[in-house]
Structure 1
Amino acid sequence: MMVYSLGVPLYANTAPLYHFLEANGWILRYGVPSELNRMVLSGEVGLSLVSSYFYLAHQEELGLLPDFSVAVLGRVYSVNLFHKGRLADLRRIALTTESATSVELLKLLLRERGVFPQYENREGGLELLDEYDGVLLIGDKAIRTYASLLDRFPETPHALPTRFGEVEVVDLSMLWFERTHLPFVFAVWAYRKANPPPLELVRALRRARRQGLARLGEVAAAEARRLGLHPALVEHYLWNFRYHLEEPDRLGLQAFAQALGLTFSPSYYPG
């Protein structure tokens, strides 16, 4: 029997979706979002978490699970622009190569502010601020970089700082919320329309998500160990996410599509 491949980014924020996934004829293939986007189109994986911008740009080819998302209403903590000086004065920004969605969101938010910096794809972290005015980081790298700037973990997340000396941290999801008052959808489960996933797998993913959210402390502890972070920070980070693609999330995805001159006309999985 052929083993079904499921694409997932090895990021803490997706762990509640598959941490408790049963092994039953499928395997996980890991990659950054830009890699997984390519793999689902090529058929290397049958079903994958893909970045929302990629999905919107390939809706003719891709189907969508109707009740799954990786979305946030407000701060996300892991899609961060680390920069020096004012946003209005940014001239050169180093971009993550891991996800097109975060890049397009950054360009949109700055463009609407009349800011048009030079963008360059670069690998690295805060050391790039010696060369650039800002650096966009996402996922585990972003939250680990942010955590490395903290001298202590505050009692409440409302006290988490956004300025560290001359370095300011701008959370792109929060800028989106201030603009729209809607969630921002970073990722969805997508598959090629010609090859929908088996219903048993979709049901197993739903069971895994229920377990992941019911036992979020266990997931957070495991991810904290993997990342070398404070478990309370990771737990707050994970409980902040929306994993069900509910109506507010669909409206947020539609608003993102419209802002980019795209449409949101999904073909939903029937099961």
Structure 2
Amino acid sequence: MSPFRIGCAPYLNAKPLIYGLEKQALFFPPAELPERLRSGEVDAALAPLGASLSEEFALVDGVGIVADGPVKSVILAHDAPLSEIRSIAIDPHTRSSFLLLRVLLENFLGFRPNYVPFSERSASRLLIGDRALAYRKENPRVTLLDLGEAWRDRTELPFVFAVWTVRRSEAKGKEIAALFREAKRLGLAARGSIAKDKSEWEYLTRYIRYEVGEREKAGVARFCDELRVLGEKAVVGKELLWI
């Protein structure tokens, strides 16, 4: 098929999924990807799950950025017990992770702190992606809540952080989906060359998973249920189109 444009976040965990497609990739913060797809600036996007649960999008089956326990790169750094947190500074690049944090705190623990811009001073901060990985290295003694681990502990399900997403109106959606599944196969085999050191190798092989199967879809369905409790719109079940 003719070349197409893909949108992706510039994070280490995405590299195995764009293996061989790097020349077609445009890089944006995760929170911007759904709108770039919606506007037609890109033909597909490795978009945050929380922003992809729409009737206008189809999700590529079998591929995603997933954690079934600790994820390492989506963390809440805090210096007080969770129940005593008054405000949390939110990374401006996040969408799914912010919604997941709200589910964990508001739905599961029953309290709602103030969510403030990242530029504001706050002892608690939500960090994602490579910024979170760097923060962990630089601040080994800070108390952290790993959101992937917290979700798994509560639900016994994996959490899908991002999925390849296309517009439902895309005529070549199934062809694009097949290419992404092949890129994943090649990228997983190439993780040894993608990782620059032992810590990156461990992250890409021990913590990040790339398969989306029935358990992962059950996790997506549970997340949709929790979003509706928050008052957020999310499609689910037969309304959610996997291609």
Q: Normalized against structure 1, the TM-score is what?
A: 0.81
Q: 1:196 to 1:87 in 2, by over 3 A?
A: farther
Code of the residue aligned with 2:199 in structure 1: it is L
The answer to whether the Cα contact below 8 Å between 2:89 and 2:115 also exists between their aligned partners in 1 is yes
Q: 1:70 to 1:196 in 2, by over 3 A?
A: farther
Instruction: Give a deviation string over 1:12-54, Cα, whole Å, max 9, x none.
Output: 011111133386xxx1111111111110111111111111111
Instruction: Give a deviation string over 1:104-152, Cα, whole Å, max 9, x none.
Output: 11111111212211101224xxxx6xx31300010011111112224xx
Segments of structure 2 that go 5 or more residues without pairing to the other structure are: 229-233
Q: Which residue of 2 aligns with 1:175?
A: 150
Alignment partner of 1:215 is 2:190 = yes
Larger Rg: 1
State the distance in 1 between where 2:2 and 2:32 align.
22
Alignment partner of 1:114 is 2:81 = no
- In the alignment of these two chains, the number of paired residues is 234
Q: 1:212 to 1:107 in 2, by over 3 A?
A: same
The answer to whether the Cα contact below 8 Å between 1:63 and 1:196 also exists between their aligned partners in 2 is no
* TM-fit CA distance, 1:68: 1.2
SS in 1 for 2:63: coil
Q: 1:140 to 1:46 in 2, by over 3 A?
A: same
Q: Which residue of 1 aligns with 2:25?
A: 28
Segments of structure 1 that go 5 or more residues without pairing to the other structure are: 151-163, 222-230
Q: Which residue of 2 aligns with 1:135?
A: 125
SS in 2 for 1:255: helix
Q: 1:2 to 1:121 in 2, by over 3 A?
A: farther
Q: 1:71 to 1:15 in 2, by over 3 A?
A: same
What pairs with 1:229-244 in structure 2 (closer than 5 Å)?
A: 231-239=197-205, 240-244=207-211
State the distance in 1 between where 2:163 and 2:213 align.
12
The answer to whether the Cα contact below 8 Å between 1:69 and 1:244 also exists between their aligned partners in 2 is yes
What pairs with 1:232-271 in structure 2 (closer than 5 Å)?
A: 232-239=198-205, 240-261=207-228, 262-264=234-236, 265-269=239-243
State the distance in 1 between where 2:128 and 2:122 align.
17
* TM-fit CA distance, 1:199: 5.1
What pairs with 1:178-217 in structure 2 (closer than 5 Å)?
A: 178-197=153-172, 200-217=175-192
The answer to whether the Cα contact below 8 Å between 1:94 and 1:132 also exists between their aligned partners in 2 is yes
State the distance in 1 between where 2:25 and 2:174 align.
17
